[in-house]
Amino acid sequence: MRPHEYHDEDWADRDAPLESDLIDDDENETVNCPECGEEVYEDSEQCPWCGQYITPKVSESRFEKIFWTVIPLGMILLILLLNVLL
């Protein structure tokens, strides 16, 4: 058989994707946007919904906000509790 003379079946086999190509091994990993909470791809630099940049620094910033809110409130509650007990 010459190279340009393919049967339909042979040609179909050549163009068909491999089964391994059809299996999605790495489920598209997503994270929640720190600003709007929508799911975005883990590799995204920016949220397509709100435009917020998705970086570790943003997450640290959010942690710092929570930290500096909880600590003072905890100190105030501790002082009030000590005043009540004494």
Question: What Å distances lie between residue 10 and 14, 17, 21, 24, CA to CA?
Answer: 6, 14, 19, 26
Alpha-carbon span 32 to 16, nearest angstrom: 36
| pLDDT by residue, tens only, the chain of 86 residues | 455 555 555 555 566 666 666 665 556 688 898 899 999 988 888 899 999 888 765 555 677 778 888 899 999 999 999 999 87
Q: What is the pLDDT of residue 17?
A: 64
Q: What is the pLDDT of residue 77?
A: 93
**What does pTM read for this prediction?**
0.34
51 phi-psi bin (left φ>0, alpha ψ -120 to 50, beta other): left
